[in-house]
Amino acid sequence: MEFFRIKKDIPFMRHALVFNAISALTFVAAVFFLFHKGLHFSVEFTGGTVMELKYAKPANLESIRHTLEKVGYEQPEVTSFGTAHDVMLRLPVIKTVTGNAASQLVFDGLCKAEQGTLKQIDSVSPKGEQVTKTACMDAAGAETVSLQKVEFVGPQVGDELAQNGMNALAMVVIGVMIYLAVRFEWKFAVAAIIANLHDVVIILGFFAFFQWEFSLTVLAAVLAVLGYSVNESVVIFDRIRENFRKQRKMSVHEVIDNAITSTISRTIITHGCTQMMVLSMLFLGGPTLHYFAVALTIGICFGIYSSVFVAAAVAMWLGVKREDLIKPIKEKDETDGAVV
């Protein structure tokens, strides 16, 4: 399906050197911020406590954050999820408090801020199990805030998650290289990996520069961008191979320009639909999906750019030619079949 068709090929490769220089500068800047500032890892990687609270009335996030700072947390992460009554706390590890004592200390401080007292309430779950809930009660005996869930992630678990994440990223890169080398040619494989790593590093550079929280959901978005970006590169590479077979008189520059121009309509439809879905998560998904959607938005935008101006251009600089993809036709020997 095509919304439009461009009759005259756009000379993308004529400006490939300029765009590759811009790509190199943005890549170097992203690497610089990664080493200079580093990533702001969430508690899943660094270790800490995750608490879910439910307030009887809409929660005042600033007041909660101020209370946590008094308890001893310098940069507490306080976000609402679901409704204005539900609050999630992500608290880093502090030396003075360890283990379950952190959740007890925090909830006690929040209860005092509500001018209430702690109370253990026994209830029955939907499965019929006996459950004890910690709640804060006001002077009239009404529940003001309750502790719904507590999770503790130790530093060792965080290190393991970080290592597993890097292993997953490495396996994806290796798998993509093998796939492209088998389906096309090694020059295309190298070009696609350079383009995909360019996208990943740019995303990480944004998160390092703005010190956005890097969590497991963001890592999942980075892995999704890898697969999404390589799909665009494969479509363009497949059209380049097809043009090499059909357009025998075209030069390499003309073949690549024609391949990119003929796939623009498909690119706009695919990426436009995907971006609409991602933007809906960005603006309507709440804090839980915010940085996941931000990573995907950056990845989609730079994925289009890298597939056109990085992957195709690098393949051209590596010297890809018609003979790399199509075996030359052997001329028939005039002596074959001759009668002596």
| pLDDT above 70 (res 325) | no
Distance of CA 128 to CAs 120, 168, 236, Å? 18, 40, 57
Q: Lowest mean pLDDT: which of 150-164, 267-281, 307-321?
A: 150-164
pTM of the predicted model as reported, rounded to 2 decimal places: 0.78
Instruction: Using the Cα atoms of residue 94, residue 99, residue 103 and residue 106 in order, give the sign of their dihedral.
Output: negative
> What whole-number distance in Å separates Cα of residue 53 and Cα of residue 31?
38
At 206, the pLDDT band (50, 70, 90 cuts) reads very high
At 340, the pLDDT band (50, 70, 90 cuts) reads very low
Q: pLDDT tens-digit profile of 13-28?
A: 888 888 888 888 999 9
3-class DSSP state of 88: strand
Please name each of the domains of the chain with its CATH number: 12-41+156-323 (1.20.1640.10), 48-153 (3.30.70.3400)
Q: pLDDT tens-digit profile of 110-136?
A: 988 888 888 877 766 666 676 677 888
> What whole-number distance in Å separates Cα of residue 273 and Cα of residue 287?
23
Residue with the larger pLDDT of the pair 168 and 295 = 295
* Average pLDDT score over residue span 304-322: 83
At 208, the pLDDT band (50, 70, 90 cuts) reads very high
Question: Would you say 320 and 237 are in contact if contact means Cβ atoms under 8 Å apart?
Answer: no
* Average pLDDT score over residue span 280-305: 87
Q: Outline where the chain has alpha helix (H).
A: 16-36, 43-46, 61-71, 101-113, 155-183, 186-210, 216-246, 252-262, 264-284, 287-306, 312-317, 322-325
- Region for 286 from its dihedrals, namely left if φ exceeds 0, alpha if ψ lies in -120 to 50, beta otherwise: left
3-class DSSP state of 92: strand
pLDDT, position 333: 52
Output the six-digit token pair for 333: 């020997």
Q: pLDDT tens-digit profile of 139-163?
A: 888 888 888 888 887 766 667 777 8
Q: What is the secondary structure of 117-152 as a DSSP string?
A: EEEEEEEE-TTS-EEEEEEEE-TTS-EEEEEEEEEE
Question: Would you say 174 and 7 are in contact if contact means Cβ atoms under 8 Å apart?
Answer: no
